[in-house]
Chain A
Amino acid sequence: MMSIVLAGFVDALGQFLRPENLAAVLVDGLAKAGLYVMIASGLTLIFGLMGVLNFAHGSMTMIGAYLGGLVMVTLVGSATGAGARIVFFFVALAASFALLAGLGGIVEIGLVRRLYDRPPLYQILLTFGLTLILDELIRIVVLFYGMQPTSDWVAAQGTKPYFLEQSVDLGLVSVPGLDLFEIGFGVLTVATLWAFLTRTRYGMIIRAGSEDAEMTEALGIDVRRVFTVVFALGAGVAGAAGTLLMWESTWGASVPLAADALLPAFVVVIIGGLGTFRGTVVAAVIVGMTDAVMTWWFVNEIRFAGLPEMTIFLLLVVMLVLRPQGLFGVEEVGGH
């Protein structure tokens, strides 16, 4: 019995190590990393500057998915060409970024600002309460239009241009077009945020505020306004991530997406180190690769559907045991 299992395992390992399979897993992993970095970077931006763990982040992603879907479904008809669909996608992206950024700004000014002098627990509680409100509001709206809030919005998934649904031949393997789109998108997001944080004056102020808010304030910078801008930015990125997820068959726009996006975002942010953008990028690649590898093993050898998800949470636990501050984190952040 044991030897049969072992033989099957060795056989599967041989399969796994074949170049075409490895390449397929690599592309899949990078695509997943692109999604994870999108979901997590808004969270890490907010935490890095203000130390607020935004529990409403998943809900904001979910709202972004619905908003993006709404724009796409409204604009795209069956006759719309592929190029126009891509253009509309960026319209949807901009719309959900702008609306979510507005929502984030309102939340920061109206609610979160009142709590900076309380223990960090209260910010978690507040944003958790916000999640309840936002999720239920969306559920009301979705039900009102006669859709099922718990199942994916299929019409929105159907607005993909045809070439993203086809496979692209890369020589060694052929991969789904959507994967390549997600990789490109992730790279673009990382590059933009990176340039913003390191190459602009405002980014410099944000980094200074993360380092030492009091000193930055003493130098004549209105840190309160920076807080509002960063909260809005983080919420906006969450919305953009949602718009990207709307096309994905494994995610899709639905109310449970809020929780489904929140947990991986936590995992990525913790593994990378709370509040470091570099850490988040590296951790997203690690988590994406782990997810892809485990998905391959589940599909081909180990018949346990929870394998990828479970491994990701195990990764979180192991990381916290071995190196609680994360890959690039500073030790005192996020403790008491």
Chain B
Amino acid sequence: MLALAAYPGIYSVLVNSPMSSEMVALLPRVETMIVVFYFGLFAMSFDFISGYTGYLSFGHTAFYGAGAYFVILAANGKIPLLAPDTSFVYLLVLGGLLAVVLAILIGAVSFRLTGVYFAMITLGFAQVLYVFVREWDYLASNPSDGPAVLERTDPFSIGVPGIDSLNLAIGQLAGDSVEGLLGVLSFNQAEVSYYMIGLVVLICYFAMQRIVHSPFGKVLVAIRENEERAKAVGYATFWYKLGAFAVSAFFAAVAGGLFAGFQRSVSPENTFYFLVTGDALLASIIGGFGTLAGPLYGWLFDETVTEFLSKAGQGGGLLPYLREHLGDATMATELYNGLTVGQAIDTFLNGHAELYIGAIFVLFVLFVPNGLLGTVRDKLGGPVGEQIAARLRGDGK
């Protein structure tokens, strides 16, 4: 957690250090870390329902998409009764509540089913919404490309609504930058967005953490382990599942809202499409299924690999680094039938992170079923923070 709080500072120090080109190649950019935050929140919300109750919510994008579209449509004055300049924080909460309503409607019919059938019916609902959003021309002039912010003049700001000095705008171009805070600290636009989005994600994480460790959360785990027994003990499991579904939908919509607020445009493909749920699933498995913070680390891993294998100008990575250090002679060496080293890297590595992430994912499924965080916890014997604290105090095992 502390490492994340200091990350932009560490990043700028390391990138300007003597090892700068190695650091640019290896470390994700601050912009990438913002994506890690909001998408990590979505993956967490997916894990909240799927990892804790064992019900695979394969249509979770419905809520992410609802939150994202709600923000953009409100900013374009297309939501009745909402002015385009409504405070962003209100929009996040309202989008979340919309998702709660949607989750109760979908969940009320879906939770009569279990296993594969539950996954399929939620997938069905999400795909109905996806096709609808892709084709409905009220949403955007070209609905299959999705809407962008057109009418709103205020930037999207996170903070206390109504008090300008307690708000900071997020966004790649429209965001605020801060200079001379407390006399010494200055933050550029990306760093301000990083902290403000990180703050919202942190609050959401604590809220979900609180729920997971409450008696309510214990019932969710009981449902995952043995639903029949949980019922026999006297819990009305249906209502617990529905409640958990609504909570997770709320946070998924907040994540979608943050995404929309930061990018200022959305498309059906990156919000409602079922493969977006696949990404959340991937993050959850690599990070640790059934551990709340795990998906965030899982997605951090995914984004790091993706950026590492991307082109120059998108955060650097392997190829620009090799070009700089290997020299033209090596890069132009022929490997096979006119294929040079440079071309081989371009063909097999650049932009094809998905291949390697997929392979790592399969290895995780086979050999590390508890994911990164789950395995570390197994090794330490409990949550990482508690164990480190215990060892520092000297009363560790």
Residue A36 lies at the interface, judged by CB distance under 8 Å to chain B: no
Whether the pair B115, A316 counts as a contact (CB closer than 8 A) is: no
Query: Which chain A positions have C-beta within 8 A of B388?
Result: none
Q: Which chain A residues lie closer than 8 Å to B113 at the CB level? A: 320, 324, 335
Cβ-based interface call for B66 (8 A): no
CB of B278 within 8 A of chain A? yes
| Chain A interface main SS type | helix
Residues from chain B with a CB closer than 8 A to the CB of A132 are 282, 354-355, 357-358, 361
Residues of B within 8 A of A139 (CB): 352
Q: How far is the CA of A125 from the CA of B352 in the complex (A)?
A: 20
Decide yes or no: A316 and B355 within 8 Å by CB, A306-B132, A335-B114 being known contacts. Answer: no
* Given A120-B115, A132-B358, A306-B132: A336 touches B227 (CB 8 Å cut-off): yes
Contact B365 A122 (CB under 8 A): yes
> Can you name the residue of chain A whose Cβ is closest to the Cβ of B50?
A121
Q: Chain B residues near A324: list those with CB within 8 A.
A: 112-113, 117
* A264 vs chain B, min Cβ distance (A): 10
Contact B361 A317 (CB under 8 A): no
- Please name all residues of chain B whose beta carbon is closer than 8 Å to the beta carbon of A310 when the two chains form the complex: 128, 131-132, 135
Q: Mark A107-140, 1 if CB is under 8 A from B, else 0.
A: 0000100110010111011101111110111011
Q: Give the interface residue-count category, chain B.
A: 35 or more
Rounded to whole Å, the gap between the CB of B62 and the closest CB of chain A is 12
Q: Is the interface of B mostly helix, strand, loop or mixed?
A: helix
**A88 at the B interface (CB under 8 A):** no
Query: By the criterion CB–CB under 8 Å, are B116 and A53 in contact?
Result: yes
B266 contacts chain A at the CB level, 8 A cutoff: no
In the bound complex, CA of A144 to CA of B346 (Å): 10
Known: A132-B355, A310-B131. A320 touches B124 (CB 8 A): yes
The answer, yes or no, to whether A261 is at the interface (CB within 8 Å) is no
Separation of A317 and B127 alpha carbons in the complex (Å): 10
For residue B60, CB closer than 8 A to chain A, the reply is no
A314 CB-CB contact with B under 8 Å: yes
Bound Cα distance from A136 to B285, whole angstroms: 20
Q: Does B134 contact A (CB under 8 A)?
A: yes
A135 to B121, CA, bound (A): 25
Residues of A within 8 A of B366 (CB): 111, 114-115, 126
Residue of A nearest to B359 (CB): A133
Cβ contact of B275, chosen from A121, A125, A259, A266, cutoff 8 A: A259
Within B322-369, the residues touching A (CB, 8 Å) are 347-348, 352, 354-355, 357-359, 361-362, 365-366, 369
Do the beta carbons of B358 and A133 come within 8 Å of each other? yes
Distance between Cα atoms of A177 and B121 in the complex (Å): 36
Taking CB as reference atom, which chain A residue is nearest B228? Answer: A336
> Which residues from A are CB-within-8-Å of B132?
306, 310
Please indicate the chain B residues that have their CB under 8 angstroms from the CB of A259 in the complex. Answer: 274-275
Question: How long is the Cα–Cα vector from A321 to B348 in the complex, in angstroms?
Answer: 45
Q: Does A304 contact B (CB under 8 A)?
A: yes
Considering only CB atoms and an 8 Å cut-off, how many residues of chain A contact the other chain? 45
Cβ–Cβ < 8 Å partners of A129 in chain B:
282, 358-359, 361-362, 365
Residues of B within 8 A of A144 (CB): 347
A266/B123 in contact, CB under 8 A: yes
The A-contacting residues of B in range 125-150, CB under 8 angstroms, are: 125, 127-128, 131-132, 134-135
Tell me the residues in window 299-336 of chain A with beta carbons closer than 8 Å to chain B beta carbons.
304-306, 309-310, 313-314, 316-317, 320-321, 324, 334-336
Residue A143 lies at the interface, judged by CB distance under 8 Å to chain B? yes
| Chain B window 135-170, contacts with chain A (Cβ cutoff 8 Å), 1 for yes, 0 for no | 100000000000000000000000000000000000
Least CB distance, B311 to chain A, in whole angstroms: 14
Give Cα distance in the complex from A310 to B133, angstroms.
11
* Residue A270 CB within 8 A of the other chain: yes
Q: Which of A78-113 contact B (CB under 8 A)?
A: 111
| Shortest Cβ distance from A140 into B: residue | B352
- Chain B residues with CB under 8 Å of A317's CB are 109, 121, 124-125, 128
Q: What A residues does B278 contact at CB under 8 A?
A: 128
Q: Could you say which residues of chain A place their CB within 8 Å of the CB of B43? A: none
A34 to chain B minimum Cβ distance, whole angstroms, is 23
Contact A126 B352 (CB under 8 A): no
**B365 near A335 (CB under 8 angstroms)?**
no
- A320 and B281 within 8 A (CB): no
Contact (A335, B131) CB under 8 Å given A121-B56, A128-B281, A140-B355? no
Does B120 sit within 8 A of A, measured CB to CB?
A: yes
Give B197-213 as 1s and 0s: 1 = Cβ < 8 Å from A's Cβ atoms: 00000000000000000
B362 contacts A126, C-beta separation under 8 Å? yes
Q: Is the CB of B355 within 8 A of A133?
A: yes
A190 near B: Cβ within 8 Å?
no
State whether the Cβ of A274 lies closer than 8 Å to any Cβ in chain B: yes
Per a CB cutoff under 8 Å, which of A111, A128, A263, A304 touches B127?
A263
Cβ B369 vs Cβ A118 within 8 A: yes
User: Which of B112, B131, B134, B354 contacts A136, CB < 8 Å?
Assistant: B354
The reply to whether B275 and A316 form a contact with Cβ atoms under 8 Å apart is no
Q: Could you tell me which residues of chain A, from 129 to 164, have a CB within 8 Å of some CB in chain B?
A: 129-133, 135-137, 139-140, 143-144
10 tightest Cβ-Cβ pairs between the two chains A and B: A132-B358, A306-B135, A136-B355, A133-B358, A129-B362, A306-B131, A129-B361, A316-B124, A334-B116, A317-B124
- A-B residue pairs in contact (CB < 8 Å), sample of 12: A125-B361, A128-B278, A129-B358, A130-B358, A132-B357, A132-B358, A133-B362, A306-B131, A316-B124, A320-B113, A324-B112, A335-B113
Query: A120-B115, A136-B354, A317-B124 given. 17 additional CB < 8 A pairs?
Result: A53-B116, A120-B116, A125-B361, A128-B361, A132-B355, A133-B355, A136-B355, A140-B348, A259-B275, A263-B274, A306-B132, A310-B128, A310-B132, A317-B125, A320-B120, A324-B113, A335-B117
Binding site for B on A (CB under 8 A): 53, 111, 114-115, 118, 120-122, 124-126, 128-133, 135-137, 139-140, 143-144, 259, 263, 266-267, 270, 274, 304-306, 309-310, 313-314, 316-317, 320-321, 324, 334-336
